[in-house]
Structure 1
């Protein structure tokens, strides 16, 4: 009697999640834009000039020999500067010795926090349109993103939809305000509703506040951790990448209860070791020396003007913009551009104008967002002027 040998799976193979991983549309459009020498309004590179005090602080640190590993939680001068900034701007009191962690960008802060506080299989609520890296990070950690759509055109929170998305497996909510890609700023009422549900169901809330200084028309930033009952369960994440135009430096931070910091710090150290040492000193110099200047109000005013400039050009091009309240992105209706989906429309626009955008589908569940493109206005004035001119010609 013959026997059939059992089929043995090859050991040299990708992980279970790797086959589903594809290059982000943001990166793909940037690569294509570089290939043709276009103007990149796709990636949030923020290639404007960094403040002089930030550059000088970093170069001084290099010359002074601060080029080795830092403490697990970052250099003390930066942690103290972050704590002071959180107190004055966010109205959040934290201990720089036990409740602040300097990270490798805001992405590193979220990654380490999820590793420390959640488990594979846990459900995490994300609002749509979403930042793709938030969703991809959850998937890479074998966690389950649960998408709650916000209502067009103002991206309002549907509290019933949020409540209905919470199950016995829900462990956390991610809130990005001001938001990438929509520029939505969650209002006090919305944040209070999220806080009430988080308390009721005993959930963590991870807040991505990286665009906290990019606010328009007098809107104020509200950190969810300052609401009653939220201090212990909120991981407040931000960084200096956007504010100081140093996206390549990878200097981020988080603030959380000392109850969580040690575990988060362990996983950040395991994955990243530390944010680059001399660049931490540059960031600290910026936080300290610009605190009492007009830098932050000037920043918001200049970006509001850039927003208005780009939105006007998009309107003239027949690409109706969803005018953002914050951050430095605009979602625009691209249905007038030929193409079966937003990916084809983004590439058609790039070919016609040399202006790169991001397909709207990158920020939605499959089959959604194909009527939208995202444009970034965090650009040097000359580049933004040229992009707007080309869009108007289109």
Structure 2
């Protein structure tokens, strides 16, 4: 057989999705892959039922159905604080995953450098490599996951074409402050570079933190590609509806990349989801209230069990410190991946090993999520309680 691409030899398959497959095999509660176990809003489901019979069922415009783009422009224009041209500044993609890949392939040439904050959503490094770029990792320092702006400037000095900013950040839940975003933006302008943002958790930001779109900051719209998705906001992760927003020059290039990657997102799903994009502010306020309650409830349960964790400022993820467990003789030399596999088989709860998110040598963290009904969270906490037996048996 001829040699395969060297690119695909430099990263693994998705550890997150791998954990879901193992979880399904053993019937565990899946707190690894971040998707809810409750239905989307009824209005969206009703619209989908109608679209099933009335259509559209054929290709829409490749870069997004006109009514879908118009609704996106209205909604996101409020967040970016400017009018968005739905015909010249939005490309609809097959999920936020394609939006990020499309953005990277639009701006990167082979040999370019792209900065990525660590910890990071696992796709970013692979996206850089697949687009021919070399990732430069900038550490976020716990417990608040702050960063050294001098390292960002050094990355730009070393020729970085772009920096990826996930805000709020998966997996650590960091919400970037205005001063942090301003500092990054000023460097991007000074070195004539791009900021590629992933803002899929924009409506899950817990008080007193506030979500700020990078593209809304002074002088940043021309330097920012905003990637986003409907998956988390409307609980439709399986619909794979994402988009990117950027200046017209970026749009013209990105729509060509998207056209040859996937042709277009599903037409009937765009039709149905347009209803959600027109929801009033009340929907997003209730969504935040729901996830705030879930976060507080789940963290309180973890505290009662005695599991060490961070307090996420945004997203629906929490990092658990398993250092004390890894020191026990029951887990001789265990990696975090082996510990997660043990959890699935013996505790019945699926997590993601933290090492899949960090460039640094991190083996003591695992990620759980709380996008679940209360009864599911209760059962998960009940099962996690059994982890105390590890200490009692020692």
TM normalised by structure 2 equals 0.93
Q: Distance in 1 between matches of 2:244 and 2:214?
A: 13
Of 280, 286, 303, the match for 1:315: 303
Q: Which residue of 2 aligns with 1:235?
A: 225
1:346 aligned to 340, 343, 349, which one? 340
SS at 2:227 equivalent: strand
Please state how far the C-alpha of 1:111 moved relative to its aligned partner: 1.1
The answer on whether the counterparts of 2:77 and 2:84 sit within 8 Å (CA) in structure 1 is yes
Taking the aligned partners of 1:313 and 1:136, their CA distance within structure 2 comes to 35
Q: Give, in angstroms, the shift of residue 345 of structure 1.
A: 1.9
Which residue does 1:334 correspond to in 2? 322
C-alpha displacement at 1:250, in angstroms? 0.7
> Residue deviations 1:183-216, cap 9 Å, x none?
1000001000000110111101101000000111
Equivalent in 274, 280, 302 of residue 291 of structure 1 = 280
Structure 1: how far apart are the matches of 2:320 and 2:266?
37
Aligned-partner SS, 2:21: helix
Structure 2, unmatched stretches of 5+, are 388-394
**Alignment partner, residue 73 of structure 1:** 63
2:364 counterpart of 1:364 = no
Measured in 2, the distance between the counterparts of 1:216 and 1:166 equals 31
Tell me how far 1:93 sits from its aligned partner: 2.3
Cα shift at 1:37? 0.2
CA distance 1:282–1:65, shift in 2 (3 Å): closer
> Would you say the 8 A contact 1:174–1:205 is kept in 2?
yes
Deviation at 1:23, TM superposition (A): 2.1
Q: Contact 1:90–1:221 at 8 Å: present in 2 too?
A: no
Q: The residue matched to 2:157 in structure 1 has which SS?
A: coil
How big is the shift at 1:92?
3.5
Q: State how far apart, in whole Å, the 2-side matches of 1:242 and 1:252 are.
A: 11
Which residue of the other structure, out of 24, 29, 34, is the alignment partner of 1:44? 34
> Residue 63 of structure 2 contacts residue 255 of structure 2 at CA under 8 Å; is this kept in 1?
yes
Q: Which residue of 1 aligns with 2:162?
A: 172
Structure 1, unaligned stretches of length 5 or more? 1-10
| In 1, Cα distance between equivalents of 2:271 and 2:368 | 32
Deviation at 1:15, TM superposition (A): 1.1
SS in 1 for 2:221: coil
In the alignment, the residues of structure 2 paired with residue 99 and residue 75 of structure 1 have an alpha-carbon distance, to the nearest angstrom, of 14
Matched with 2:123 is: 133
State the number of aligned residues. Answer: 381
Provide the C-alpha distance between the structure 1 equivalents of 2:154 and 2:180, rounded to a whole number of angstroms. Answer: 16
**Counterpart in 1 of 2:371?**
378
Give the conservation status (yes or no) of the 8 Å contact 2:79–2:213.
no
1:38-85 Cα offsets, whole Å, 9 max, x none, are 000000122321001111222222211301111022111111111111
Please list, as runs of the form range in 1=range in 2, the aligned pairs for 1:114-263 lying within 5 A after superposition: 114-263=104-253
Superposition deviation, residue 285 in structure 1:
0.8
Report how far residue 129 of structure 1 moved: 0.6
For residue 300 of structure 2, give the secondary structure of its aligned residue in structure 1: helix
Shift of residue 287 of structure 1? 1.1
- TM-score by length of structure 1 reads 0.93
Alpha-carbon distance between aligned partners in 2 of 1:255 and 1:76, rounded to the nearest angstrom: 15
Whether the aligned pair in 2 keeps the contact of 1:314 and 1:332 (CA below 8 Å) is no
1:89 and 1:221 map into 2 onto residues whose CA distance is: 9
Q: Secondary structure at the match of 1:361?
A: helix
Alpha carbons 2:62, 2:265 under 8 Å: kept: no
Post-superposition offset of 1:267: 0.8
CA contact (8 A) 2:108 2:132 kept: no
Deviations 1:272-317 (A, max 9, x none): 11110010011111111x224x211111111111112222222233
- Runs of 4+ off more than 6 Å: none
Shift of 1:265: 0.5
CA shift digits 1:7-35 (9 cap, x unpaired):
xxxx6221112233322221121111111
Which residue of structure 2 aligns with residue 30 of structure 1?
Answer: 20
Question: Which of 281, 288, 299 is equivalent to 1:300?
Answer: 288
Q: Which residue of 1 aligns with 2:90?
A: 100
Which region of structure 1 is more displaced relative to structure 2, 144-153 or 167-176?
Answer: 167-176
Q: Is the 8 A contact 1:313 1:392 kept in 2?
A: no
**In the alignment, what sits opposite 1:391?**
384
Q: Distance in 1 between matches of 2:154 and 2:303?
A: 37
